[in-house]
Amino acid sequence: MFESLDEASLLVEMTAGRRAERAAVARRLMAAGRLCLVRMADVEVEDRTQWCIDHWEAVAAEVGAELGISRARASSEMHYGLELVERLPKLGAAMAAGEVDFRVIAVVVFRTGLILDPAVLAAVDAWLAAAAPGWNGFSRRRIVELVDWRVRELDPAAERVARGVDEDRHVEIGPSEGGLAQLWGAVRAPDAAVLDRRLDAVAGSVCAQDSRTKRQRRADALAALAAGVDSLACDCGSADCPAAGVPAPAPVVIHVVAEAGTVTGQSARPGYLPGFGALAAQTVRDLATRARLRPLKSAQEFTAEPQYRPSVALAAFIRARDLWCRFPGCEVAAEFCDIDHSIPWIGGGLTHPSNLHCKCRAHHLLKTFWCGDGGWAEQQHPDGSIVFTSPSGRRYTTTPGGALFFPQLATPTETLTVAHADPPPDNPGRTLMMPTRQRTRAAERAARIAWERGLNEARWAADPPPF
């Protein structure tokens, strides 16, 4: 591709590709925003605005399923789309024409989020549509300065002022490579100093003959602290080592899925640690020497169970087979999910692998309260695959996550013949079972904006210009 083009033509292609990329992103975002407007205006919302899974969440689930992304990302795209459709339409048109990068849009949407006066917002929108196409090469800091200057000029109470960074403290853990994981975050300085000294102290609890570097021992010290012990086991191998007799760690449960042959040494196939990926076969065998092993029953060994709640063995199989929430685009780990009946138990559904799967609580509530005519529907097959049908009639098929690593987990189970019971009688109090919010989403947003504007107004009243 492009072999026949000269240097100048290749540069032109790059520019055309960038404009098309911007326009495509705008098309996606604004379509999501418009869908949200249509759905929110086309429903009776009086009795659902305070539901935990409200109309916004219902639309986010549908957008996420269509795009194959999580609810959180879908909600974010809906938010940006609504801003470009409703609040900043001229800027949205500039992006749709391929003139503005999304990174500029993301900054602008946040920095103008406190403006309430329609006239001020219209003036800012017109200015942005003219100016923002020239900002694509600017740093984020420079874009913030330009937008804040204009907002401060037209509506000082709408300026986004940095609050205490203490609110941004966090610790994150994510997968890396080769059986490792990464840990990062921001904590209070005194806590960091204590942790730093503590890691040094635990890392220094071994004798001088330990083979590990200090960096490695500090990493192992973090694991020791997490396990509830304050010293490391020395690897020198000496019976006279002063670091002998390390206290036993407190029990911590993680789940690793592996084939029996890997555990016994007959196979070199890796195991799988949910959320972190593959573990080398030797690592699995090392873990097996000090872990409790729970062999899974094969798919064909299960029959329908008489009770609603699955047995321990059946629940373990379902979680290992699915690995995460089965709703399209969702990746909540199975251990944090509910086990749901595709055909509801009350409607004749059986407690059986062919009718059970994992759903996170949000998507479980969505299935329970947003089903029926015009809602979500699903059909589960004996191999564990599920076909979801959205309120728009679109279909999405998901397959068990565990089968991607261990195909035998997707071996078809028994094909069920379900004698459907009569639909349960209408229960006017059923909707009371949906968890609710203290305030509606709109009221929460209005209160947050009023709070931020109030802080700005108080600051200006205490120290009015000229400063």
d(CA 398, CA 331): 12
What pLDDT does 84 receive? 95
d(CA 87, CA 60): 20
Residues with Cβ within 8 Å of residue 129, at least 6 apart in sequence: 90, 91, 93, 94
What pLDDT does 126 receive? 96
Identify whether the C-beta of residue 293 lies closer than 8 Å to the C-beta of residue 263.
yes
What pLDDT does 395 receive? 94
Comparing 18-22, 134-138, 212-216, 437-441, which segment has the lowest mean pLDDT?
A: 437-441
Tokens standing for 74? 């879908």
What pLDDT does 380 receive? 92
What pLDDT does 96 receive? 95
d(CA 196, CA 319): 37
Closest by CA to 367, choosing from 401, 390, 399, is 390
Comparing 35-39, 121-125, 168-172, which segment has the lowest mean pLDDT?
A: 168-172
Of 259-263, 369-373, 459-463, highest mean pLDDT: 259-263
Q: Tell me the average pLDDT of the chain.
A: 84
CA distances from 24 to 215, 238, 323 (A): 46, 65, 33
What pLDDT does 368 receive? 86
Torsion angle defined by CA atoms of residues 401, 406, 411 and 413, in that order, rounded to the nearest 10 degrees: -60
292-308 pLDDT tens trace: 888 888 888 888 889 99
Identify whether the C-beta of residue 203 lies closer than 8 Å to the C-beta of residue 218.
yes
- Relative to beta strand 170-175, strand 181-186 is antiparallel
State mean pLDDT over 333-357. Answer: 90
**Coil, helix or strand at residue 367:** helix
What are the two backbone dihedrals, phi and then psi, of residue 435, each rounded to the nearest 5 degrees? -55, 140
What pLDDT does 315 receive? 93
159-170 pLDDT tens trace: 887 665 666 788
Q: Is the pLDDT of residue 403 over 90?
A: no
280-294 pLDDT tens trace: 888 888 888 877 888
Identify whether the C-beta of residue 39 lies closer than 8 Å to the C-beta of residue 105.
no
What are the boundaries of each domain within the chain?
7-162, 169-252, 299-426
Q: How confident is the model at residue 414 (pLDDT cuts 50, 70, 90)?
A: confident
55-65 pLDDT tens trace: 888 889 999 99
Q: How far is CA 286 from the centre of its chain?
A: 31
Q: How confident is the model at residue 421 (pLDDT cuts 50, 70, 90)?
A: very low
**What single-letter DSSP state applies at residue 228?**
T
What pLDDT does 251 receive? 55
Q: Is the pLDDT of residue 374 over 90?
A: no
Q: Is the pLDDT of residue 404 over 70?
A: yes
CA distances from 369 to 55, 58, 304, 376, 387 (A): 11, 10, 26, 9, 18
Counting Cα atoms < 13 Å in the Cβ hemisphere of 361 gives 5
Q: Is the pLDDT of residue 465 over 80?
A: no
For 250, other C-beta atoms within 10 Å of its C-beta total 9
d(CA 199, CA 222): 7
**Coil, helix or strand at residue 171:** strand
State mean pLDDT over 101-130. Answer: 94
